[in-house]
Structure formats: C-alpha cells, structure tokens
Amino acid sequence: MTRVLIANRGEIALRVIRACRELGMETIAVYAQGDEDTPHVALADEQYCIGPAPAGLSYLNVQNILTVALEAKADAIHPGYGFLAENPGFAKLCHSLGLVFIGPSPEAIEAMGNKTRARELMEAAGVPVVPGTGPLTDGAEAEAMAAEIGYPIMLKAAAGGGGKGMRLVEEQESLSRALEIARSEGEAAFGDARVYMEKYIQCPRHVEIQVLADNHGNVVHLGERDCSVQRRHQKLLEEAPCPVLTPDLRARMGEAAVRAAKAVNYSGVGTVEFLLDKEGKFYFMEMNTRIQVEHPVTEMITGIDLVKAQLQAAAGEQLAITQEDIEFRGWAIECRINAEDPQRGFRPAPGLIQEWQGPGGPWVRVDGVARSGWQVPPHYDSMIAKIIVWGQDREEAIARMKRALLETRVEGIPTTIPLHLEIIASKDFISGNYSTALLGRLLEKGR
C-alpha cells in the first residue's frame, strides 16, 4: 500500500495526509469546486476535482471518486469520517476494483450500521444492551411494546446515526406522531424508514471505548472518552479519561467493547459507544466503524497515533501492542470549534473569517483548516477546527483549555468558543459530575 486517495475534505483529510507522509505513502486529494485552496489540497502529492460544491455531486459522488482513484493509480482509499466512511456499498466497490478500503470489512460496516441487527449481535456476544425492540411494524405494535418497556422511550431510525431519526416519547399520546416523524427522518437521511424502540435512560453519560484491531484476530481497547457534552445528540466537547470511571468499570467496558469488535470480525479503528447510568450500569448504544472526530484525546493520553495504526492495519500488519502494553497518562480535552451561533439555536454561520489566530504553547494541539480570509462554505459540517489540550491531571487540562480558548481569536463569524468557556467554567463540569443534560441546563440558565 503506497498510494492513498483521501475521499474526504477538511481537517480529517489533512490528518490522514500527515499520517501517510510519516509512513512514506503518497497521497491523492480530491476536492469539490470551492475547496481548491484548502490545506489538504495543497499538502497532498496530487489533486483532482470531483465535482461542484454540494456533497451529493462531489464527496458523495462514488463514480467520480473511484474514477479518479483508478486514473491516479491509487491502491487504497481512506474515507475519513462522514460522507462515505460507513457506506458498505462503497467499501464493496473499492474491494471489487482491487482498492484497499481503509476501514473494516463491508460486512462489519453493514452489521453495525443496521442498529437492530447490531443489537442482536451484541446480545449474542454478551454485551449489555438497552431494553428495546426490533424494527416496529405499525403503531399498534409500537404502543404495545412501549407499554411493556415503560415510558419514557426513544424511537430510533434503524439505519441511523448522528442524532438523526431519533424521537423521545414521554407518554402514549405523543407516540403516534413521534413514530411518523422518526420514520420520515430515517427515510430522508438514510433511505430507510424502519424504526425501533429503546428504553430511554434518563440523564446518562455518553462514554465510548476506542478499539484497535488487525486482520489477524487481535483486538485491544485504548480506554474511554466521555462525550456527554452534546447538543441535539451531537458532540461538542470530549475528554479522556471519563471522570467517574473506576479501574474496574473501565476494564469491564473495555472487555465488552473488544467482544463487540470480535463479534463482527472487526479490523482497523472503531468506537463502541455506551450509555452509562447513575448506578454504574452501561449499555451498548452503537458502534462507529471509522475514525472519530474526537480521536485526538485518546492519542494524547496513550501516545498511539490512531490514523497511522489504521493505515498499518489496512496494510495487513499485525498489532505491535497487546492490552498489557497500553498505558494511560494524564488528561486530555477536545473542544470542537464550529461556525455556529449558540444564541440562535446553533444555527450554522458560514461566511468570511476575517481573522483567525489559533492558540499555541505547551501541550496544545489544533486540528483544523480555519484561517484568516477563508470563506466557510455552507455545504458541509460547520466544524472549522478542534482544540485539544493535555494536562498531567484534569484540573491542569481544564486550565489549559481555558487558556487556549481565550487565546483563540475568530473575527467575522460566530463560533462555539464562548459556549465552551461557559461549559468548562460550570460547576457541574468542573466537578466531573455531569451527564448529557449538562448543556441543556446551561442554555436554560442563559435564557
């Protein structure tokens, strides 16, 4: 594996290019019209335009991407995250054309992408799951199952992810309408209107376990990330480790994540996501079969380059580490800097960045493409950068993140920086005793 095409854009494309260079691999960038001057295009060894700016005509255009891959004589494709990263059909096409898909097998992607099938597999593997159902056939079945499980319940799109196709139902009177909306959103977002039901775990923590596997049956976990600071089920801030996990709970969650990966013959990097309730019980939620946006916090506390590990696994190399080799040092926090206006319901705020000045100093990392004079496009995700810090302990990491955020200057568009400063200064966050309800409470206070 010597020539890698990156089927993505922005900070993850830049991240993959850097990892490839360290491994001596040549890189091929693809870009949409309007992305010509982005850093990943400049840094790659070769560059190819794949269509107009809308993602459906470019970064989701399978034919154009694969045509470029063959013309450029790529031998592998890295999908990054989002876009085609969890599309089993795309992975199958790559394999059929003799291209290495840098990720798990199409079968593993498909198994974990179907949320009801994933629940069945996890139950068979002994991984705890939230009480729930398979795909619901009609409203009468939904009412019967909700009564059996007990309200509140959560309706979820069977092919869902990223918070799409999810509806909280607290009483029977709301069920019929919520089911209709969840089906409609699932069809619109994933082309699949099937919906299933789970017991709603109130005020949980969202804790995910990073796994790393090779093609030879070896799987390890790299500890957890707490991703409980969210808006509309989408993460804003992540930290590693989780403030409330004991060594015993970490070991049990890690072992469950490894079982989950082995159940689908997983290879590469992946994330098993759990809900953790107030009593310390954890439940499988889903598995993301790709590199995660928040992977840097794991890298900071383990010293393991996850993207390089992903490339090495795809190249057929065996894991160079065992579970006993993995050590956790210090504390890391990541803040996603989005071009959004939190005061207006997190409305996306594309536009011209008149001035950008990122933070620096010891143990501060910035992954992103934001820069002065850059026009943030309206066609894609609103994240323009990630600020990641490391500290010897949580207190130092919080202080360092505050310093880094105050040092960051963005003129011309609103961002989530002021909200991040509010979050890390809140009593609940500082205590470590918070849940997925944290942001809602902070926003309510601000009204």
Task: Tally Cβ neighbours within 10 Å of residue 268.
Answer: 26
User: What proportions of the chain, in percent to the nearest 5, are helix, strand and coil?
Assistant: 35, 30, 35
Q: Which residue has the tokens 């809140």?
A: 426
* pLDDT tens by residue, 392-443: 999 999 999 999 999 999 999 999 999 999 999 999 999 999 999 999 989 8
- CATH annotation of 3-102: 3.40.50.20
* pLDDT tens by residue, 276-296: 999 999 999 999 999 999 999
Is the pLDDT score of 171 beyond 80?
Answer: yes
Is the pLDDT score of 160 beyond 80?
Answer: no
Choice among 205, 290, 336, 400 that is catalytic: 290
User: DSSP letters of 150-188?
Assistant: -SSEEEEEEEEETTEEEEEE-SGGGHHHHHHHHHHHHHH
**Contact between 32 and 53 (Cβ < 8 Å):** yes
CATH superfamily for domain 131-199: ATP-grasp fold, A domain (3.30.1490.20)
CATH superfamily for domain 205-446: ATP-grasp fold, B domain (3.30.470.20)
Is 177 catalytic? The answer is: no
Report the percentage of the chain scoring pLDDT > 90.
Answer: 93
More confident residue, 17 or 343: 17
* pLDDT tens by residue, 41-65: 999 999 999 999 999 999 999 999 9
Is the pLDDT score of 8 beyond 60?
Answer: yes
CB-count burial class (<10 Å; 0-12, 13-18, 19+) for 194: buried
Is the pLDDT score of 142 beyond 80?
Answer: yes
Is the pLDDT score of 161 beyond 80?
Answer: no
Is the pLDDT score of 447 beyond 50?
Answer: no
Residue 180: what are its φ and ψ, rounded to 5°? -60, -45
Q: Three-class SS of residue 132?
A: strand
Is the pLDDT score of 104 beyond 60?
Answer: yes
Interval 324-328 mean pLDDT: 97
Interval 79-108 mean pLDDT: 98
Is the pLDDT score of 298 beyond 50?
Answer: yes
Q: Where are the domains of the chain?
A: 3-102, 131-199, 205-446
Q: What is the mean pLDDT of the chain?
A: 96
**pLDDT the model gives residue 162:** 65
Q: In whole angstroms, what is the distance from residue 140 CA to residue 402 CA?
A: 51
